[in-house]
Amino acid sequence: MINFHAEKELKNFSYRVSFKSEAQITALFAPSGSGKTLTLQMIAGLEKPDNGEIEINGKTLFSSKKRVNLPPQKRNVGYLFQDYALFPNMTVEENILFASKDRKLFGEIVELLEIGEILKKRPEEISGGQKQRVALARAIMRRPEVLLLDEPFSALHRELKENLYGELLSIVRRFNQRAVLVTHDFEEVLKLSQKVVIIEKGKTVQSGTPDEVFSFPRTVKIAKLLGHKNFFKGKVISVERGLAVVEIHGGERVKGRFRGELQKGETVTVSILPLSVALSPQVESTRVEVLLKEVKKRGNFLQLKVLLSGKEMELHTPVSLTPNYILEEGRRTTLHLSAEQISVIREEK
């Protein structure tokens, strides 16, 4: 269990972040300069909050109330830095064993991460992906209470990232490891974490499971941060069982999901996700007429640019759906949009 609450006043920056998590991997997601790395540094003891409390698995690392502030060496955290921070004068084996001389654990980690062939090499002689594995191995050798991951995959290409995602998941599961991951890549959040905490300008603005947060962003700003693209202003016409019918500009009505309280007549923003196109009419879907401006093939998908109520939006549909619709540039066509892929967001107060 991670219990984090910290406050700190910095020059031109006020930091107030709080979250609790029992997830194996908790992601801190935010744009640069929002306080993600500062949060890791506070957990590690490299930065001291002005006020607050930090607990890991019931152990107090910092408490302004109890006047507790354990030094970094007594916090038992593993920190995986963005630049790996390997010792250049040591071999891979020496780097890993620097954290602990436990040869049994060393053997398990080396086998799991498949780095046996590079043990006698120095960091300058290995690739970026190999450095990443070595840094991860060294962090795990400490048997830390929590593993802190500071954008560990940001400098790697996509294929290598995908491989390392699997290895990280294998490591945390094999050693029942708790981890906090800092990232600005929401795809990474979806693939690795069970809980996400969204931070904006030093404040916690939303938290929950990745799917929950993506489907029910609290504000339009958060929705844009998560990668939502198609936004329409409108008024609520009806509300029933977590679904709202919204009339947008031009008189079109769309049905989408929402969380919390929503009243008929409220002004809202509708976010239509690109993958909202349904194979056929569904009970919870909306029939809309659009003008097709552009159709491009992207692998197994078609990328559509369409006009809905005079406003351009982007939709993605599998090539296999093509027989269900007439998708020709310059033509009008009727599409069915799934309510499951449409978020209704209340106006920000």
193 lies in the same domain as 87? yes
From 193, 215, 237, give the residue that closes a domain.
215
Residue identified by tokens 């390997």 is 86
199 lies in the same domain as 258? no
Q: Does residue 15 form part of some domain?
A: yes
Q: Would you state the pLDDT for residue 26?
A: 97
206 lies in the same domain as 238? no
CATH number for the domain harbouring residue 89: 3.40.50.300
**Helix, strand, coil shares, percent, the chain, to 5:** 30, 40, 35
State the Cα–Cα distance between residues 141 and 108, nearest whole angstrom.
Answer: 10
Sheet with strand 77-80: strands edge to edge: 68-69, 59-63, 51-56, 2-10, 13-21, 203-208, 195-200, 25-29, 179-183, 146-150, 77-80
248 lies in the same domain as 193? no
211 lies in the same domain as 233? no
CATH number for the domain harbouring residue 290: 2.40.50.100
Q: Does residue 222 form part of some domain?
A: no
Q: Would you state the pLDDT for residue 129?
A: 85
Question: Per residue, what are the HEC states of 196-226?
Answer: EEEEECCEEEEEECHHHHHHCCCCHHHHHHC
Q: Would you state the pLDDT for residue 27?
A: 97
Q: Does residue 183 form part of some domain?
A: yes
209 lies in the same domain as 309? no
Domain of residue 339 covers 228-346
Q: Does residue 294 form part of some domain?
A: yes
**Contact between residue 84 and residue 137 where contact means Cβ atoms under 8 Å apart:** no
Q: Does residue 221 form part of some domain?
A: no
- Cβ-defined contacts of 260-266 (< 8 Å, 24+): 260/346, 262/236, 262/344, 262/346, 263/236, 263/239, 264/236, 264/237, 264/238, 264/239, 265/235, 265/236, 266/235, 266/236, 266/346, 266/347
168 lies in the same domain as 312? no
Helix (H) or strand (E) holding 132: helix 128-141
**Domain count within the chain:** 2
168 lies in the same domain as 293? no
**Contact between residue 29 and residue 222 where contact means Cβ atoms under 8 Å apart:** no
Helix or strand or coil: residue 232? strand
Q: pLDDT tens digits, the chain, 349 residues: what are they?
A: 999 999 999 988 999 999 999 999 999 998 888 999 999 999 999 999 999 999 999 999 999 999 999 999 999 999 888 777 899 999 999 999 998 899 999 999 999 888 999 999 999 999 888 998 899 899 899 889 999 999 887 767 777 777 788 888 988 888 888 999 999 889 899 999 999 999 999 999 999 999 999 999 999 999 999 999 999 999 999 998 889 999 998 888 999 999 888 999 999 999 999 989 886 666 688 888 899 999 898 888 889 999 998 899 999 988 776 655 567 888 898 888 999 999 999 877 5
162 lies in the same domain as 284? no
Q: Does residue 220 form part of some domain?
A: no
From 180, 215, 250, give the residue that closes a domain.
215
In a 13 Å sphere around the CA of 132, the CA atoms on its Cβ side amount to 21
172 lies in the same domain as 277? no
From 215, 243, 276, give the residue that closes a domain.
215
Give, in order, the Cα–Cα distances in Å from 312 to each of 202, 246, 327: 34, 18, 16
94 lies in the same domain as 177? yes
Question: Does the predicted model carry a pTM greater than 0.75?
Answer: yes
Q: Would you state the pLDDT for residue 83?
A: 77
**Contact between residue 22 and residue 61 where contact means Cβ atoms under 8 Å apart:** no
Q: Record the tokens describing residue 92, joined without a space.
A: 């891979």
9 lies in the same domain as 156? yes
Length of the chain: 349
Q: Does residue 201 form part of some domain?
A: yes
Q: Would you state the pLDDT for residue 99?
A: 83
Q: Would you state the pLDDT for residue 189?
A: 94
